Amino acid sequence: MVKLFIGGFPLDYTELELVQLVALHGTVNTVKIVRDKKTGICKGYAFLEMKSLADANNAVEALSGRSLKGQTLTLKVNDEAAPAPPAKKPFRPAAPKPATYVKVERPAGIKVERPAGVVKPKRPRKA
């Protein structure tokens, strides 16, 4: 699949109208018009995925520079390769646990009391 940038089309164009325009020159797989997140208004450019590089080049030759409702179309084939997925860390199984466990017996808690006559002063309250 080849990604194609198309810009300069009228803002009131829909995905269907773009596909109908470009499909005359090749097979279009997907279309995505870029819109403002808050208002939903078209920003004036879109990305299309075409089946082959030959189809994309045919569309660029036929439509690039063409006037459409007073605006000039710009078409470009995205030459960049698809970005590589982020590298994943190799799977490392957890360290094996020892086969036997030794339970350590600890003495019951021993309560330790303060020596007689030692009093810890209290902190003053915040006002």
Question: Residue 82 has what pLDDT?
Answer: 56
Q: Which residues of the chain have pLDDT under 50?
A: none
**What is the pTM for the complete model shown?**
0.58
Cα separation, 27 vs 53, in Å, equals: 10
Cα separation, 41 vs 33, in Å, equals: 10
Is the distance from CB of 9 to CB of 22 less than 8 angstroms? no
Mean pLDDT of the chain: 82
Question: Residue 80 has what pLDDT?
Answer: 61
Domains of the chain by residue range: 2-77
Question: Residue 95 has what pLDDT?
Answer: 73
Q: Which CATH number fits domain 2-77: 3.30.420.40, 3.30.70.330, 3.30.230.10, 3.40.50.720?
A: 3.30.70.330
